């Protein structure tokens, strides 16, 4: 019976770690490349022109967000099972926060298919004039809702980091890095929400905090794949 529990924990570690790495790659392509190349901030005509000439890329972005959404849900499930033996209540809280974040991401993603509808609609002259603004509003709604969700995601990482500190088989460095990453997410996106007028100034802070955020998340994903759930010889 003990052996099956260890295998189950190892399987959950592999599921979470591999999913996190795949998600990082997909997110880099989806948000870093596709979204970044299609959307021109505060320039509706240029954004619409990009979308009209590269509809295939936008559909690929939609697919990417869908994959991220599904992987986030899978990671929440896997991490719950991995940490359940450490502290079941906190493991549930951590996974609940990630599921809540994933639900908010889903609401944000729901704005994107509307852009395809707007692009394909046959509109009157007045409607044609308003279409760029409507499309940019959909994009802004997506980005704002997702940003609010990342506040919750940061709380998930804080609880996850604390769980890692409680676990005897995880080095404290991972717990500290995850908590730093979580505080960074929550702080940054809370500031974006309450003082959006200084978003330009926050870009530098985000670039600085991106280092511990990336090391914490991707490093822990690699640890899960390499060592997570393995028993000591």
Q: What is the pLDDT of residues 33-58, one digit of tens each?
A: 999 999 988 788 899 999 989 999 99
Residues of the chain above pLDDT 90, percent: 70
Residues of the chain above pLDDT 70, percent: 90
- pLDDT greater than 60 at residue 26: yes
- pLDDT greater than 70 at residue 7: no
Read off the pLDDT of each residue in 216-224 and give the average, rounded to a whole number: 94
What does the mean pLDDT of the chain come to?
A: 89
How would residue 1 be classed by pLDDT, with cut points 50, 70 and 90?
A: very low
Mapping DSSP onto H, E and C, the string for the chain reads CHHHHHHHHHHHHHHHHHHHHHHHHHHHHHHHHHHHHHCCCCCHHHHHHHHHHCHHHHHHHHHHHHHHHHHHHHHHHHHHHHHCCCCHHHHHHHHHHHHHHHHHHHHHHCCCHHHHHHHHCCCCHHHHHHHHHHHHHHHHHHHHHHHHHHHHHHHHHHHHHHHHHHCCCCCHHHHHHHHHHHHHHHHHHHHHHHCHHHHHHHHHHHHHHHHHHHHHHHHHHHHHHHCCCCCCC
pLDDT for the residue 2: 45
- pLDDT greater than 60 at residue 233: no
Nearest to 200 by CA among 42, 44, 71, 79: 42
Q: Contact 68/153 with Cβ under 8 angstroms?
A: no
pLDDT for the residue 126: 43
Q: Contact 14/83 with Cβ under 8 angstroms?
A: no
pLDDT for the residue 188: 92
- pLDDT greater than 90 at residue 4: no
Q: What is the pLDDT of residues 87-111, one digit of tens each?
A: 999 999 999 999 999 999 999 999 9
């Amino acid at each position: 019976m003990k052996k099956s529990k260890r295998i189950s924990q190892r399987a959950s570690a592999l599921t979470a770690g591999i999913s996190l790495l795949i998600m990082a790659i997909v997110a880099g392509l989806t948000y870093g490349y596709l979204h970044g190349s299609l959307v021109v901030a505060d320039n509706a005509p240029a954004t619409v022109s990009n979308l009209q000439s590269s509809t295939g890329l936008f559909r690929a972005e939609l697919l990417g967000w869908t994959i991220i959404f599904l992987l986030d849900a899978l990671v929440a499930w896997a991490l719950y099972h991995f940490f359940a033996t450490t502290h079941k209540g906190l493991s549930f809280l951590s996974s609940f926060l990630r599921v809540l974040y994933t639900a908010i991401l889903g609401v944000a993603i729901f704005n994107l298919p509307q852009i395809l509808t707007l692009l394909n609609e046959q509109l009157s002259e007045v409607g044609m004039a308003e279409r760029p603004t409507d499309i940019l509003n959909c994009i802004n709604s997506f980005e704002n809702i997702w940003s609010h969700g990342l506040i919750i995601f940061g709380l998930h990482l804080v609880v996850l980091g604390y769980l890692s500190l409680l676990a005897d088989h995880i080095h404290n460095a991972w717990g500290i890095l995850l908590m730093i990453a979580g505080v960074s997410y929550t702080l940054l996106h809370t500031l974006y929400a309450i003082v959006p007028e200084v978003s330009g100034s926050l870009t530098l802070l985000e670039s600085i905090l991106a280092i511990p955020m990336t090391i914490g998340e991707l490093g822990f994903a690699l640890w899960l794949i390499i060592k997570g759930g393995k028993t000591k010889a």
